[in-house]
Structure 1
Amino acid sequence: MARRQPIFKPYHQHQLMLLPPSLDELIPKEHACRVVNEVINNINLEPLNAAYHIKGSSSYHPQMLLKVLVYGYVSNIYSSRKLEAACKESIYFMFLSSMSYPDHNTINRFRSVRLKDAFRKIFEEVVLLLAQEGLLSIEEVYTDGTKIEVNANKYTFVWRKAIATNKEKIKKQLAQIWQYAQSMAAAEDDLPDPPDFTRINKEKVKDTVDKLNEVLGKKENVDKKMKARLDYVTKHYPANMARYEQQEAILDNRNSYSKTDPDATFMRLKEDHMRNGQLKPAYNVQISTSNQFIVNYTIHSDPTDTNTLANHLDQYEKSFGSSLKSLTADAGYGSEDNYTLLKEKQIAAYVKYGLFDKHQNKSFNKKHPFSADKLFYNQQGDHYICPMGQKMHYIGNRTNKTVTGFLQTARMYKASNCETCPLNGACHKSKGNRIIQVNVKLERQKQQADQLLKSEEGIRKRKKRCFDVEPVFGNIKNNHGFRRFMLRGRKKVEIEWGLIAIAQNLRKKAA
């Protein structure tokens, strides 16, 4: 009996079609590339068109390039070379580009140069479009930050402490040579006292070196080792000081920066693959979200979340022309200057302070029964009562200036007879009498924040924050593999993160 042959569907690779299908027919109706196409068709691109010159040869249409770039970030394709290949290989990119094939240089130039001044407006248009559809609120947001590594050499860096150490060495060397020159100077060319190096600069170093060469150059019996030291100082120290001043100008208020991306600061990254918290050049990315849509974003060189909120709010007001109604954030933003700023802007601040979560834990309160916040305060006498019932008297104020320039004032109270107290060692660890510092304004702000956070609305917002803003970073990093910027420089990084933000919003809309 003959074996039956299997039946296959027709397969004629080179057969011509009378009516070939269009790209539109090959793409599913709910596909993400259609969402990208629809959204970008409905936003104003006049600011982007202004980035092109009227004269010269024709350019690829910016609307097409923007669609290709945004959809690339939606589909986890970040490299300009891979985007170039996708325009020739993927029907989704062919649909968006209308069978145009821009090369990687064109795509990269568009991303780095053309979008530089116009991209923020494009992002804002997308957010407002999504808000009109009722998908998000631009008035009530959840704010958080993360650190993302930059495309920079992690072994070429500048540290503020290293500069300070080297400047101290310069001071010491010049002082020693000056002292030697004084011992060698004749009566008629006595040197004055060594110059004041309290604030050293390149001009002062150069003048000192020139004076030393003038005095010691006349002497015939100068020690060879000292002469060699002076030659080294003359050759290197003025140039070194000029370089240190230039580096300090780049540092500004930071402690470090990368030589290959001076805007980037060395930060400790949590998700380091070695799990040892290595310091790497990175940016602090701040976002505000609503229903997991990114409403606002800013890029910072400061690794501390506390110091970024003011600029973040300024960018929001610049983008949307009004202030927020409410902001919810974790304890990383709970500071006196931030609470003051939010109150001035009349924003409901559902912002935790440092020990809010621990204060909800009874075991923590039992472990710290003698903390300053548990001491009784006598308002009429303006004194605190220590755990042994003794008065702690007011001894003055202490003022501290933060990195952002905000002045904090704390009242200081001092106990007496701590040496003979039976609770000495348990009440406090200092050697002398216990001194506590009380920031009255901050304590009042903490009480107000505590009431707001424990209200029904505060509890709801605290719960929602965990699954509103935090999953956005997790989705971008873990699900879409974006853990390192490809571009260098803060302005270009802002564009790159803006593309990530639009991609996140359009993925969410498509879902």
Structure 2
Amino acid sequence: MKSKVVFKDYKPKENLLFPPNLSELIDQKHLVRIVSSIIDGLDIKTLIKNYKPGGTSCYHPKMLLKVLVYGYLSNIYSSRKMEQALKENIHFMWLSGMSRPDHNTLNRFRSERLKGEIKSIFTQIVLLLEKEGLVSLATTFVDGTKIEANANRYTFVWGRAIKKHKARIAEQLEELWNYAEEVAKNELQNPENLDFKEVDAEKVTQTIEKINEVLKKKKVPSKIRQKLNYAKKNWATNLEKYKKQQEILAGRNSYSKTDTDATFMRMKEDYMRNGQLKPAYNLQISTNKQFILHYSIHPNPTDTKTLESHLKGFEESYDKVPKELVADAGYGSEENYNLLQSKKIKAYVKYNYFRKDQKSGQITTSQSNRKLARIREKTFKLLQTKKGIKLRKQRCHDVEPVFAELKHNKNFKRFMLRGKNKVEVEIGILAIAHNLKKMAKAA
């Protein structure tokens, strides 16, 4: 006799007498519980102070922070997708206590409420990790990577182009002045000894007015008239625009018009593999045992000039600096060695000729900079010690895998928000998510 196939009961349309408790559906060791527990223990008094009393009730900031952190843990960076997860995903539903803040609420909390607050929250978690013996603030591994900005790749301002345009205006203004001098030598006076190398909007306006005044009764070719009319209408306005653009540049070589804090940088990760220029930020991190201890955002495409600011932020967060700092040759400048020495930090930092010196067994010296040669000699000896060799090898396995985790495993290659302050919030949330994930694995 042939046996029957037996199926388990399946009655999806039948109402449950008692709805299931979400907590019963989540494993006791699930990562979502660690996120909830750690954030529950945070001190967020300063964040709460930003809320004004009165009016309608607000969602609790700890709940919103949990949703954001768990979203970044789950590779969900869009506030709209988080809104959807709060309706469909039991982990998000459990975290929020079945509350359903919409994407606007989540985005406002992330981009506005957490500005200036996320670093303090991140620091609290790192100090907890130190207390648990999971990290040490004494030894840090420092490196940087570029992350694309949420900006238009084709609308940009270049510092060199501004200088070129200003030089062209100055040159053409001088030509017009020289022409006017030839035509009306006795009438055109230059008592101020006008310098055409440096021109501004006011100087251009005054000069064009003088030229027009002396040439108005003269027979002048139409090309000159057209040029004077164009100059009167456009040059002063353009120079004002260039002045504002240079203020935004603040010493940088470029910026994006849709995110003026972002600088155009060559991106190694571009899919064309040709190092395309894209608006981006330089993310610097300090790590220990692959945990992120500190992060900072910079407009500099290279790492060399980021260290001072990065260390300053570390000191502000922890009221101390690390005892040892390990970094690659991108940080090996005379200024950085002097900085580390002044702060009494042991500098396990390579310099450009370190490998060459290793092979030859002789320190590369320079007759023109003996001070730098002495620094290199001292650094070379430190890097060749047993501890130096150990830390150099460890650097590759400590800080670089963190970038691989963020950019490849978490697929975080482009910011969602615009502006340095908001970008720092995103990195703060991402760094918290990364540390909590590693904490869960270590538990």
Given candidates 459, 462, 470, the residue that maps to 2:400 is 470
Displacement, 1:220?
3.8
- Residue in 1 aligned with 2:435? 505
Asked if the contact 1:342/1:349 (under 8 Å) is kept, the reply is yes
- Residue in 2 aligned with 1:338? 336
Q: Could you report, residue by residue, the CA deviation over 1:46-69 in whole angstroms, capped at 9, with x for unpaired residues? A: 121112111221110101000000
- Residue in 1 aligned with 2:372? 442
Asked if the contact 1:116/1:492 (under 8 Å) is kept, the reply is yes
Is 2:61 the partner of 1:70? Answer: no
- Residue in 1 aligned with 2:416? 486
Q: Could you report, residue by residue, the CA deviation over 1:2-32 in whole angstroms, capped at 9, with x for unpaired residues? A: x432111121213344444311111112211
State how 1:75-474 maps to structure 2 within 5 Å. Answer: 75-185=74-184, 187-190=186-189, 195-217=194-216, 219-361=217-359, 373=364, 437-474=367-404
Displacement, 1:42?
1.1
In structure 2, relative to structure 1, the CA distance for the partners of 1:97 and 1:238 (3 Å cut) is: same
Q: Could you report, residue by residue, the CA deviation over 1:191-247 in whole angstroms, capped at 9, with x for unpaired residues? A: 569720232222222221221122222x24111110111101111100010011111
RMSD (Å) for aligned C-alpha atoms: 1.7
- Residue in 2 aligned with 1:420? none
Separation of aligned partners in 1, 2:134 and 2:403: 19
The SS at the match of 1:354 is coil
The SS at the match of 1:327 is strand
Separation of aligned partners in 2, 1:357 and 1:311: 28
Displacement, 1:190?
4.7
State the structure with bigger RCO (CA 8 A, min sep 6), 1 or 2.
Answer: 2
In structure 2, relative to structure 1, the CA distance for the partners of 1:51 and 1:190 (3 Å cut) is: closer
Higher helix content, 1 or 2: 2
In structure 2, relative to structure 1, the CA distance for the partners of 1:55 and 1:19 (3 Å cut) is: closer
Is 2:31 the partner of 1:28? Answer: no
The SS at the match of 1:85 is helix
Query: 1:137 is matched by which residue type in structure 2?
Result: S
Separation of aligned partners in 1, 2:204 and 2:127: 57
Displacement, 1:270?
0.5
The normalised TM-score by structure 2 is: 0.96
Asked if the contact 2:170/2:198 (under 8 Å) is kept, the reply is no
The SS at the match of 1:6 is coil
Asked if the contact 2:174/2:196 (under 8 Å) is kept, the reply is no
Separation of aligned partners in 2, 1:149 and 1:189: 54
- Identical aligned pairs, as a percentage? 53
Q: Which has the larger radius of gyration?
A: 1
Separation of aligned partners in 2, 1:460 and 1:67: 38
Displaced runs of 4+ in structure 1, greater than 6 A?
none
Separation of aligned partners in 1, 2:209 and 2:359: 66
The SS at the match of 1:165 is helix
Asked if the contact 1:142/1:328 (under 8 Å) is kept, the reply is yes
* Alignment coverage as a number of residue pairs: 441
The normalised TM-score by structure 1 is: 0.84
Separation of aligned partners in 2, 1:147 and 1:205: 41
Asked if the contact 2:188/2:210 (under 8 Å) is kept, the reply is no
In structure 2, relative to structure 1, the CA distance for the partners of 1:188 and 1:89 (3 Å cut) is: closer
In structure 2, relative to structure 1, the CA distance for the partners of 1:41 and 1:191 (3 Å cut) is: closer
